[in-house]
């Protein structure tokens, strides 16, 4: 019988804690959402930032023809391996964020970094016009009109940039424009580490 008494004495407290449960759940969920929103603001959290399936794997082989009139050779898988890390950049003239990232690619080129370009699903004359207007940062430049090489790289869209180490292994992928922050906080340290 004394068991019963203890049970009924514990009951009001239990009931009250049950009432508080939804409040606690809402509180935890709210804190989580707030952290996500803050992360999206500062760039620490990207809901689309699924890591590439190719990280740590050899860069897929391909051969792409040069862009006529750009005075740069085309790109093959062999061009990605060598004595220094390279950046492989997918771009298109119809892509607005590509305009945003272009100055950063020009900076990299001026600093002597090997930036290789792939024009993705773009008319050759449009790609050419884009590079004439904004400058050509690419040491080599391939044309991928059907977008098949892009799919071999698991591309989501343009712009997208890959860092490939001298052994031909993909070390980093950025889906989106290379901002000045991405350049200084991610690319520059990575280039130093993989050189």
Partner 1 sequence: MTRWLSLAVLACALASGPAWAVNDPADQLPDAAQEERARAIGRELRCMVCQNQSIEDSDADLARDLRRIVREQVAAGKTDAAVTDFVHTRYGDFVLLRPPFKLETALLWGTPVLALAGGMLLIRGMRRRRVAEAPAELSPDESARLARLAGGRDP
Name the site residues for partner 1 (rule: CB under 8 A): 1, 3-4, 7-8, 48, 50-54, 121, 146-148, 151-157
Nearer to partner 1, 105 or 155 (CB): 155
Name which of 118, 180, 112, 188 is nearest 149 in CA terms: 118
CA distance 84 to 53: 23
Pairing state between β 114-120 and 86-91: parallel
Token readout for 46 is 């990207």
Nearer to partner 1, 153 or 172 (CB): 153
CA distance 128 to 136: 9
Least Cβ distance, residue 66 to partner 1 (angstroms): 23
Least Cβ distance, residue 147 to partner 1 (angstroms): 6
DSSP state, residue 111: T
Nearer to partner 1, 79 or 160 (CB): 160
Least Cβ distance, residue 52 to partner 1 (angstroms): 7
Nearer to partner 1, 2 or 42 (CB): 2
């Amino acid at each position: 019988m004394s068991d019963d008494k203890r049970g009924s004495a514990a009951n009001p407290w239990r009931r009250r804690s049950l009432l508080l449960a939804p409040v606690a759940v809402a509180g935890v969920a709210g804190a989580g959402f707030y952290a996500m929103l803050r992360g999206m603001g500062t760039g620490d959290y990207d809901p689309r930032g699924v890591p590439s399936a190719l990280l740590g794997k050899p860069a897929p082989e391909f051969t792409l023809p040069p862009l006529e009139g750009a005075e740069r050779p085309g790109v093959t898988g062999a061009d990605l391996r060598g004595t220094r890390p390279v950046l492989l950049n997918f771009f298109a003239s119809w892509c607005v964020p590509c305009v945003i990232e272009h100055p950063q690619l020009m900076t990299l080129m001026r600093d002597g970094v090997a930036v290789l370009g792939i024009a993705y699903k773009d008319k050759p004359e449009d790609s050419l016009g884009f590079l004439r207007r904004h400058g050509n940062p690419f040491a080599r430049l391939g044309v991928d009109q059907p977008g098949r090489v892009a799919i071999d790289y698991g591309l989501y869209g343009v712009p997208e940039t890959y860092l490939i180490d001298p052994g031909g292994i993909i070390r980093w992928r950025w889906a989106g424009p290379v901002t000045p922050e991405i350049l200084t906080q991610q690319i520059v340290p990575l280039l130093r580490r993989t050189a």
